[in-house]
Amino acid sequence: MSLDAALSIAQSGLRYAQRSLSVAADNVANAQTSGYTKKTLPSIANTTGAGGGVRLGLTSRNVDNAVIDSLHRSGGALAGATARESLLKTIEMAHGQTSAGDGLGDRVSALRTAFVQMQADPASSSWQGNVLLAASQVTDRFQAVAGAIVATRQQSQDGIVNEVDAANASIRRISALTDQIQSQQAAGLSTANLEDQRDEAIATLSESIPVKALRSANGGIALVTQGGQSITIPSKTDPFSTSGAVIGPSSYYGSGGTIPPVTLYGIDVTSQIQGGRLGEYVTLRDSTLPRYQAEVDLSAATMAARFEGQGLRLFADGSGTVPDPTQPYNSGPLIGFAASMVVNPAVQANPSLLRDGTHTVTGSATGPSAFAPNGAGGPAGFSTLLGRVVDFSFGAQAQNGVGWPPIATTGLGPDGTLSSPFIAPTTIEGYAANVTATQTGDRAAATTAVEDAKLVNEGLNIRFAERSSVDIDQEMANMVTLQNAYAANARVMSTVQAMWDALLQAAR
């Protein structure tokens, strides 16, 4: 080997050791930086003749793109489940402490108990007062739940607007980074750090709406949502769009509705959005919460109608109207009834109506039997109405041998497209309890989903860390090795220099 060849090899070794030390130092310095991945400096043996040292490649990332994509999806699932759990907690709180006997079904049961107690002394003002108190507690609970549902739907709508803005911001960042990556790659420069930043931006986007990244050899990237929609990168304009709206009990998205859609490049994709916070907010706003509202409204309206049918208008809306729960839910009067239901002011002003009744019932073969109220000067121990209320308003039958019409479980929601996930019990107490159990159970299911998503996300983070995170101990050991290699190559160069000096001295 010539001295020139030895010098060239030593120089290439010095360059590799110097560059590798710089990469290792960057790894150590950024070990705790969010989104940073371990960098490596590839080298290629330059085998010409007896050996030509090493050629340096571009600094690259040590990553598994399949793991990264899975990590992004799991991050979206976790973000969505967390958002759902947070909003459903509001509904659960409005339903009261069911473990303490304070749910809808419990309060209806307490009202029935108050009527049973009143049967012992129908004229007792104390027992009548207990019934009025129990009735007021029922309407308070209905109003609290209905109000929480509408408020949570508004939070979901506001969340959709915020997530659309966040998604567009992430896409703008991904687009800008992709432009830089392609430009630097074309210039033959390393893009490893820019790719880290782009992956972090994709992770942020996936929390709003999960996407799969399709990477190309020239540094470009395409994004595809779980619903199958493609997002063009670089994107010159914000791809997603929506607008704010005030949500009420009758608001809905779709044909004839007042809730604006979410569009992608001007095309309505609301019903195709899946996963992430955006997907959960859409599901809550357009499906889960409108169904809750319908179930609570039907529970309140059925209760009011079954008292009304026996001759006691105990509950009504602010105008004194009792809606017919057998009519289609989206026909109008039923929507929002739970929030407006109050104890009849006439009964509050004259509690003896709880004993006597408020109106005459004509009676029919398919509904309640005939009833005439206790007239002025009638017996103080009049108990006919109380018997009808206890046996039939709270029971499964309108009169002996005649069942009440079933409580609807389909055709729900302001647009009439939703269905309850259960078979409706036949009694108002059973239905109210089932509504509470189902709606609060959804929060428990959301909590389980959060825990499951965390486990998946943690497992993927461990896999990612094993492959791509910086191991400081390993980097420090590599730096020691590189320093020794640097010293060895420097010694070679000094030895070659000494040999050149000796030859030059001999030539003189």
What confidence score (pLDDT) does residue 36 get? 81
Q: Are residues 138 and 172 in the same domain?
A: yes
Residues 178 and 235 in one domain: yes
Residues 166 and 27 in one domain: no
Claim to verify: residue 91 and residue 54 sit in the same structural domain: no
Query: Which among 276, 267, 262 has a CA at the least distance from the CA of 225?
Result: 276
Q: Specify whether 47 is located in the same domain as 173.
A: no
Task: State residue 110 phi and psi, 5-degree precision.
Answer: -65, -35
Backbone torsion region of residue 256, taken as left when φ is above 0, otherwise alpha when ψ lies between -120 and 50, otherwise beta:
left
Best CA proximity match to 259, nearest among 271, 246, 249, 278: 246
Angle, helix 428-468 to helix 65-94, in steps of 10 degrees: 150
418 and 491 belong to one structural domain = no
Q: Do 279 and 133 share a domain, yes or no?
A: yes
Confirm whether 263 is domain-assigned: yes
Both 138 and 258 in one domain: the answer is yes
pTM of the model: 0.87
Instruction: Say which residue the tokens 């739970």 belong to.
Output: 338
Distance CA 141, CA 103 (A): 8
Within-domain flag for 315: yes
345 and 433 both lie in a single domain: yes
Q: Give a yes or no: residue 8 inside a domain.
A: yes
Residues 276 and 203 in one domain: yes
pLDDT the model gives residue 485: 55
What's the rounded Cα separation, in Å, for the pair 390 and 314? 13
Total domains in the fold of the chain: 2
Residue 293 belongs to domain spanning: 68-455
User: What's the farthest any 2 CA atoms get from each other in the chain?
Assistant: 145
Interval 50-78: pLDDT, tens: 556 666 556 667 888 899 999 999 999 99
Given a cut of 50, the residues of the chain with pLDDT beneath it are none
Q: Determine the angle formed by the axes of helices 65-94 and 276-283, rounding to 10 degrees.
A: 30
Q: Give the chain's count of helices (H) and strands (E).
A: 13, 14
In-domain check, residue 465 = no
Residue 402 contacts by C-beta under 8 Å, 6 or more apart in sequence? Answer: 365, 366, 367
Q: Are 331 and 257 found together in one domain?
A: yes
For residue 464, being part of any structural domain is answered with no
pLDDT at 154: 98
Residue 466 lies in a domain: no
Contacts of 54 (CB under 8 A, 6+ apart): 12, 13, 16, 43, 44, 45, 46
> Is residue 462 assigned to a domain?
no
pLDDT at position 121 is: 96
Q: Are residues 151 and 8 part of one domain?
A: no
User: Is residue 280 in a domain?
Assistant: yes
Q: What's the pLDDT at 32?
A: 72
Is residue 221 within 8 A of residue 233, CB to CB? The reply is: yes
What is the structure's pLDDT at 235?
A: 80
d(CA 14, CA 489): 6
Contact status, residue 257 vs residue 415, Cβ threshold 8 Å: yes
